[in-house]
Each structure stands twice: as structure tokens, then as C-alpha cells.
Amino acid sequence: MSNRDLTRLTAAEARTGLHAGDFTSVELTQAHLDRIAAVDGDVHAYLHVMRDVALTQAEAADARIASGTADVLTGVPIALKDILVTTDAPTTAASKILDGYVSPYDGTVVSRLRERGAVFLGKTNTDEFAMGSSTENSAFGPTFNPWDLTRVPGGSSGGSAASVAAREAVISLGSDTGGSIRQPAGFCGVVGLKPTYGRVSRYGLIAFASSLDQIGPFSRTVEDAAIMLNAIAGHDPMDSTSVSEPPPDFRAALRTDLTGVRVGIAREYTVSGMEAGVTSSVSAAIAQLEALGAELVDVSLPHTEYALATYYITAPAEASANLSRFDGVKYGLRVDAPSLQDTYRQTRGDGFGSEVKRRIMLGTYALSSGYYDAYYVKAQKVRTLIKQDFDEAFKRVDVIAGPTSPTVAFGVGSRTDDPYQMYLADIFTISANMAGIPGIALPCGFSEGLPVSLQLLGKAFDEQTLLGVAHAYERAAGWFAHVANL
């Protein structure tokens, strides 16, 4: 196979080819490194390319495959969002305050992928500390959408989404705090899975909002997402929020028929300002689900209108606490000043970008004396109501279907001066994080030549049903076969 063909493979196809001896992991890895060299100057999906590490891992993977002890992901080239700590590459969270930082330990998901013999191509760009919806908040420059380089890839995991869409990685990992996997997956025309909170260990993930963050995959197909979830899910004693029950085989849950499946259609997931092309593509996708045998059921999520406000109290409050550790004392940037207080102030002033500072200030205000009850406590009560909405809806349905975003990818720079319009890009994704439930975004058409995405939400710890429905739709609709012409 040519290098160009090798970069078009899914993880499942790569595994088949590797084990059949059609090509080696070194050849597959080199093809992706060559692809990165050819296009990443335009896309800027990567902050750090781990070329030597990747080729060494690929050689070890080939030996493992030859010995007959390989895993499904052995020898498969993978990209990692640059908020997952690694011992053999910098982890910066796309922030000046961590420029050059190398962790003394691997995150749990990184360790699990190493054990399976996966190949690490590099660390991908992100909004600084995962705070953003467009990957324009990176201290090291924005990432661009492979479908149209004048558009954003979404955020905060825009680099991970773009790396898969641009064929610079077979599969990648990102994190989702309010939509940061699903929204960029939608903008870049790939699959993005946010697992249930607690399904995947967060140990080694640089925290933004600890009660919301969850690690998950980007891939070209739902099957690949299931393969990756099989690899990274499961209890971790290093993360007190990870669930103790053994995860099922997610790949085994994939199906092509939806007879007996009840799909909820929430009236709240149609809002003013939705683009006509998004509405028509999502409506056609829902009709396809019905044609596959699913029963459509109207449901209501009445507190959805409060989700955005609730999120932008909860997440900044947690960020305010989590980011207090970055003070120039133990690691990262240090700006020396006459007093310790001035050292803190100047280190954080120089090290953090404007969006991170905005959210720290919002969160500190919400947690401050006299405002804690009025804002943070009230937000937690509304969060409970949002979760109860989903609990009630899932008594009647198996999954809920709707758009991932109200628009296709917007222009680079078009929303940077209007934070509220930027935040609205996540209006359909935030609720799942507030409720802790799983969600998946997958291609469902095009509008103005740009990908449109269907979002499916599932019951907590029922990724099997979610992946099964998504796979059935994907195989019937065929949008996964469309590739960015970069």
C-alpha cells in the first residue's frame, strides 16, 4: 500500500493489515509522520511531534506482532491531547505557564495504551487548559479545520479532532468538559465519544473542572471509538471518581438493526439561530434511525435553557481551585519578583492567557464570601434538576438524538471578541457533562461544504446501547467515508 493509502486506514483496518503482514507498524507510523510533515504546517494539529519515540514504539510493536502477543491497538499510531501527561514528551496544556514541562509520570490512559503497544505520534493542540470552543486560545497558535483552513476545528480538543480528520493520526484522545470532544468532532467530520463520568480514569489529566472532565476518543468510525474505549475504560485506584465495576466489551455491542430501540427527540434541542443546513441534515439522520427500526419518542428536558449559565458558574469555580497550583513555585514558569505575592501575581499574569484569566476570575467571584450561596450553591441545585430531566427521559427512551452544534464550523477570528457567542457553540453538549452521561457525535451530512454532526446521548454507563445505535446509523448513512481533501 502507498503511504497515502496507509493514512486512510481505520484502527480496525490497520490491525487487520498489521497482523496479515501487509505492512509493518514502522511503515504505518512513517506514513503518518510523513503526512504530519506534509500538512501540519497548515493545520497545526500538533504542538509536539514524538518522531523518535513513535518509531521506537513501532519497532517494538512489530516484534510483538511477530511474537503473537499483540493487542488490537498494538502498532496503531495515536495522537494525545496535550493535557494528558507523558514522561517522554512535554505536556503544556497549551499554556505559557507550562511551556517545556515534562511529567515524571504517565497518566493512566497513557499507561494503558503503552501496555497495549500503541504508537504515540505526538501531543495535540488545545485551547489553553481546555478552556475554549475553537482552539484559538492556545498560547502556541490556533489549529485550523482540515475541511476549510479559514474555519476553526472546534474546541477545546481541536488538535485531536483535526489530526484524525487530516489523516495525521489513525485515532486520538481528547477530553470533554462541556463538549470539548463532541463539538470539535462535529466540526471536523469525525466521531467523538464522551464516556460516562467515572468510566475512564482522569489520573494524569490536567484538570479544568474535576466534576465534569472526561477523557474519550476521536476516530473515523464508531467501531474505532469502541476499540479505544475498550483499551482505556476501567477502574483506577489512582482516581477516586472512577467506577469499580469491570467495563463490558463495547465493540461486541455494535449492531446494524435498531428494531426495539426507542430514540428520544427533545424539543429543547431546536433553538433559534440554528443553521438551515444543520436542521435538515439532523432531521434526515433522525429519519434514518426510524427507517432502521427505531421508535421515535418526544421527550422534554425543561431545564436545558439553564445549562449554559449553570455550566459557566460550575466550571470556572472548579477551574479557579484547580489552577491555583500553577504559581511558579513547584513547576512551570516562574517570574521572580521582590516578594512572594508579587512572584505569584507576575507568574500567573504572564503565564495565563486571557480566557483562562476570565474563567479564574468568574470562578473566584462565584466562590467568594457573599456570593457562594447566590451563585455556586444555586448552580449545583440547577445541575441536579438537569440530571433529573435526563433520568425522567431515559425511563421512556434508550438514547436521545439531536444536533451536536447549532452551526457548522465558524470562521477563524469570528467569535474571539464575543465570548457569549463562543460559549453558545456548546449549547447542545454542556448538559451531558452536567448530568454525567455519555454522548457521541458522528457525521450526518454537509452544509456549505462543511460537516454536520448528529449527537446521541445515552444513559449513564450504557455506552453499549449508545455505540450500537451510532454504529447502525453510521453504516446505513455512510458519511464516514467522506474525507477532508487536504
Kindly list the catalytic residues.
81, 156, 180
The span from the CA of 75 to the CA of 259, in Å, is 37
Rounded to whole angstroms, what are the CA distances from 404 to 214, 347, 392, 478? 17, 38, 21, 18
Question: Residue type at 199?
Answer: R
Q: Give the CA distances from residue 388 to residues 21, 155, 206, 382, 385, in Å, rounded to whole numbers and listed in that order.
A: 52, 28, 29, 10, 5
Q: Are strands 450-458 and 439-447 parallel, antiparallel or unpaired?
A: antiparallel
Inter-axis angle of helices 11-20 and 25-43, to 10 degrees? 150
- Omega before residue 156 within 30° of 0, cis: yes
Kindly tell me the burial class for residue 373, based on how many C-beta atoms sit within 10 Å of its own C-beta (0-12, 13-18, 19 or more): exposed
Residue 160, Cβ neighbours under 10 Å: how many? 40
Distance CA 57, CA 50 (A): 10
> What SS3 string covers the chain?
CCHHHHCCCCHHHHHHHHHHCCCCHHHHHHHHHHHHHHHHHHHCCEEEECHHHHHHHHHHHHHHHHHCCCCCCCCCEEEEECCECCCCCCCCCCCHHHCCCCCCCCCHHHHHHHHCCCEEEEEECCCHHHCCCCCCCCCCCCCCECCECCECCCCCCHHHHHHHHCCCCCEEEEEECCCCCHHHHHHHCCEEEECCCCCECCCCECCCCCCCCEEEEEECCHHHHHHHHHHHECCCCCCCCCCCCCCCCCHHHCCCCCCCCEEEEEHHHCCCCCCHHHHHHHHHHHHHHHHCCCEEEEECCHHHHHHHHHHHHHHHHHHHHHHHHCCCCCCCCCCCCCCHHHHHHHHHHHHCCHHHHHHHHHHHHHHCCCCHHHHHHHHHHHHHHHHHHHHHHCCCCCEEEEECCCCCCCECCCCCCCHHHHHHHHCCCHHHHHHCCCEEEEEEEEECCEEEEEEEEECCCCHHHHHHHHHHHHHHHCHHHCCCCC
